[in-house]
């Protein structure tokens, strides 16, 4: 009964988040929820372009639930080209101490990563390799969101507002960047005020209006990478912007 209740709750949340879902999408989500105990609420899976994709965080939580014995990853230097920001990684997942290992490879270069994580190709390649190894180890046929490459940015779910985003100062790309930042704050449950303080410190400006687009893009890219791969350190840094007790508001 608890399992059925959780699946029903997750389905209701998915419908409220994504709107109308085709029957095929609902059945596919039910399979992921029942077989692997994924959670839409926790961001384990995402609905992108008509299909469900697992996330890196969701796969790591699955490995923890299944008592994964270890994950080893290393770069494949002979297939990589650091000068061209091209990296290939090999990852191996061990489900138990006696497991012989499940292999996965991942590659990343400027042509197949989102502009929001440009410059972090090494870490993206490692994440993709680990994702593929985990999917093979636990029999997950759904692709991971991090493997979508440069198309991932255009496949992100739209913001909750139903009105189309309006250009700011004639720049039609600005709203998409702002929406991406808000999506990160929602997905990783970050404090918007602390994120704003971090952004001001990062851009070295007194207000975000004074920051140029390149500065904001760099900030969002770093926030996305740290929220995904080093959330504990990110939260510690955000907490450093909390007002000192007894200080003036």
Confidence of residue 237 (pLDDT cuts 50, 70, 90): confident
Q: Specify which residues 45 forms β-bridges with.
A: 54
Q: Nearest-5° angle of CA 237, CA 242, CA 245?
A: 140
Q: Give the pLDDT band (50/70/90) at residue 3.
A: low
Q: Kindly state the average pLDDT of the residues 53-79.
A: 95
User: Beta partners for 70?
Assistant: 94
Whole-prediction pTM = 0.60
CATH assignment, 2-155: 3.30.160.20
pLDDT over 90 at 170, yes or no? no
pLDDT digits (tens, 9 = 90+) for 104-151: 999 999 988 887 788 889 999 999 999 999 999 999 989 998 888 655
- Please give the Cα distance from 210 to 224 (Å, whole number): 22
Q: Specify the pLDDT at position 19.
A: 83
Q: Which residues of 142-166 are buried (b: 16+ CB within 10 A; e: fewer)?
A: bbbbbbbbeebeeebeebeeeeeee
Compute CA distances 8 → 13, 37, 40, 71, 231, whole Å.
9, 12, 11, 33, 29
Q: Using CB atoms within 10 A of its CB, is residue 97 exposed (0-12), middle (13-18) or buried (19+)?
A: exposed
The residue ranges of every structural domain in the chain are: 2-155, 174-239
């Amino acid at each position: 009964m608890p399992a059925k209740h959780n699946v029903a709750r997750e389905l209701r949340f998915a419908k409220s988040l994504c709107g109308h879902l085709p029957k095929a999408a609902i059945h596919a989500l039910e399979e992921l929820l029942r077989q692997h105990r994924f959670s839409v609420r926790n961001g384990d899976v995402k609905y992108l372009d008509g299909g469900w994709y697992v996330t890196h965080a969701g796969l790591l939580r699955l490995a923890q639930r299944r008592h994964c014995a270890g994950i080893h990853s290393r770069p494949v230097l002979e297939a990589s080209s650091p000068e061209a920001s091209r990296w290939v990684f090999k990852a191996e997942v061990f489900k138990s101490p006696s497991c012989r290992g499940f292999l996965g490879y991942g590659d990343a270069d400027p042509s197949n990563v989102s502009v929001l994580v440009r410059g972090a190709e090494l870490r993206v390649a490692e994440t993709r390799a680990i994702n593929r190894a985990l999917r093979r180890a636990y029999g997950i046929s759904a692709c991971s969101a991090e493997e979508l490459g440069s198309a991932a940015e255009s496949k992100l779910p739209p913001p909750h507002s139903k009105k189309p985003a309006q250009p700011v100062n004639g720049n039609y790309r600005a709203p998409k960047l702002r929406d991406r930042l808000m999506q990160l704050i929602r997905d990783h449950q970050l404090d918007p005020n602390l994120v704003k303080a971090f952004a001001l410190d990062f851009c070295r400006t007194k207000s975000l209006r004074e920051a140029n687009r390149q500065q904001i893009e760099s900030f969002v890219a770093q926030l996305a990478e740290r929220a995904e791969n080093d959330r504990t350190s990110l939260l510690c840094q955000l907490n450093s912007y909390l007002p000192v007790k007894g200080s003036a508001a």
